[in-house]
Amino acid sequence: MDPPSSMDYSRHRLPTQSAAAALATQLDQGYGSFTTGSEALDNSWGGTGLERGKLVEICGPPGSGKTAIALQLVADAVSKGEQVCWIDTLSQCPTSRLESIFAERKLESRVSSILRYQITSLAHFFAIVSHLTNSSMEISLIVIDDLSLLFTKEFPPASDAPQFQAAPNKGYEKQVDKRGRLVADIANRLQRLSASRMVAAVVLNQLATKAVRGGGPLELAPSVHSATNNWTHAFHHRILLLRKHIPKTDPPVDKRHLRFIFVLKSSGVDIQNTNMSRPDQFFVIKVTKSGVEDEKQQVFETLTGAILMAESFAASGENSEEHYGIGFSDSDEEAEVAHLPVGHLKRKRSTDTTSDIESRDNPAANVTNDTLGGNVDEDDDNTGQYSSDPVDLVPVAEALAGSDTDSFPILSQARRSHLHGETEQSKSNPLETVIPQKFGRTVVPDSDGESDDDVL
Amino acid sequence: MTDILTILPNIYRTNPNLRSLLDRHSPSFDQCGLTTVDLVTLDPRSICQRARISLNDVNKIVDAIRDVLNAETLGGPVNAPTLRSGRSTPTGTPMGTPTGFGFGGGGGDVGVAGGVTNFRGRNMEALSRRQRVVGLGDEGFDAVLNGGFVTGSLVEVVGESGVGKTQLLLRLCFSIQQPPHNRSAIYICTESQISTKRMISMLDRLVSQEVEGYKSLSTDKIQTAMCQYPETLEHIVRYQLPIAIERFGVGLVVVDSIAANFRVVDDEAGDDLTSTRGGAKGRTAKLAKRAGDVVRLGMCLKEMAVKYNVAVVVANQVSDTFEPGWMRRNKGFMPPPPSSAPPASSFAAMAESIESSMGTQGMTQAQQQQGGSQEIPLAMMSQYGHPTDDLMMTYDYQAKWFTGWGEGIDDDDDIEDEVLLRALGKLKTPMLGMSWTNLLDGRVALVKGSAPRGSGGEAGEGEGGLVSEDGESEGRTRRWVKVVFAPWAESGVLLEYEIWEGGVRSVRELDTGGGEARDED
Q: Which residues of B touch A115 (CB under 8 A)?
A: 119, 122-124
Spatial contact of B159 and B166, defined as CB atoms under 8 Å apart: no
Res B481 pLDDT > 70: yes
Helical ranges in A80-216 per DSSP H: 95-104, 122-134, 147-154, 162-166, 175-197
Most B CBs within 10 A among A85, A153, A241, A287, hence the mutation to make, goes to A153
Residue of A nearest to B146 (CA): A96
Contact: A90, B299; criterion CB under 8 Å: yes
| SS3 (DSSP) at A269 | strand
Interface contact flag, B356 A218, Cβ < 8 Å: yes
pLDDT of residue B453 exceeding 70: no
Pick from B124, B397, B495 the residue to mutate for testing the A interface (most A CBs within 10 Å): B124
Q: What are phi and psi of A280, to 5 degrees?
A: -75, 160
Residue A171 covered by a domain:
no
Q: Where are the domains of chain B?
A: 4-122, 128-520
Question: Which residues 179-218 of chain A have a CB within 8 Å of chain B?
Answer: 181-182, 185, 189, 206-209, 211-212, 215-218
Beta-carbon separation of B393 and A170 below 8 A: no
Could B356 and A208 be called an inter-chain contact, meaning their C-beta atoms sit closer than 8 Å? no
In a 3-state reduction of DSSP, which class is residue B310?
Answer: coil
Write the residue in A112, A178, A206 that is nearest to B124 by C-beta: A112
* Three-class secondary structure of residue A240 per DSSP: strand
Q: How many structural domains is chain A composed of? A: 1
CA closest to B99 among chain A residues: A448
Q: Does residue A62 lie in a domain region? A: yes
pLDDT at B412 > cutoff 80 = no
For residue range A323-343, list pLDDT tens digits in order.
Answer: 333 333 333 333 343 343 333
For the residues B114-135, what does the mean pLDDT come to? 59
Whether A4 maps to a domain, the answer reads no
What is the extent of the structural domain holding A341? 23-154+177-445
pLDDT at B341: 36
Per-residue pLDDT at B389: 52
Report yes or no: A62 at the B interface, CB cutoff 8 Å: yes
A448/B101 touch (CB, cutoff 8 Å), yes or no: yes
pLDDT tens column, B62-105:
888 888 887 777 654 333 333 333 333 333 333 333 333 333 33
For A162, name the nearest residue in chain B, comparing CA atoms only: B285
Q: What is the mean pLDDT of residues A72-76?
A: 86
In contact, B384 and B378? CB cutoff 8 Å: no
pLDDT tens digits, A362-379: 443 333 333 333 333 333
Predicted confidence (pLDDT) per residue in B26-45, tens digit: 888 877 778 888 888 888 88
List b or e across A67-102, with b for residues whose CB sees 16 or more CB atoms inside 10 angstroms: bbbbbbbbbbbbbbebbbbbbbbbbbbbbbbbbbbb
Specify the pLDDT at position B417: 66
Number of H helices, E strands in chain A: 18, 15
CB contact under 8 A, A216 and B41: no
Q: Domain of A398: which CATH number?
A: 3.40.50.300
Cβ-Cβ contacts under 8 Å, A182 against chain B: 37, 41
**Residue A12 forms part of a structural domain:** no
As for the ipTM of the complex, it is 0.71
Amino acid B216: pLDDT: 76
CA angle A270, A272, A278 (to 5 degrees): 110
Choosing among 3.90.280.10, 3.40.50.300, 1.10.287.990, 3.30.70.20, the CATH entry for B128-520 is 3.40.50.300
Name every residue whose Cβ is closer than 8 Å to that of residue A410 and which is 6 or more positions away in sequence. none
Mean pLDDT score, B151-172: 86
Give the per-residue pLDDT at A298. 52
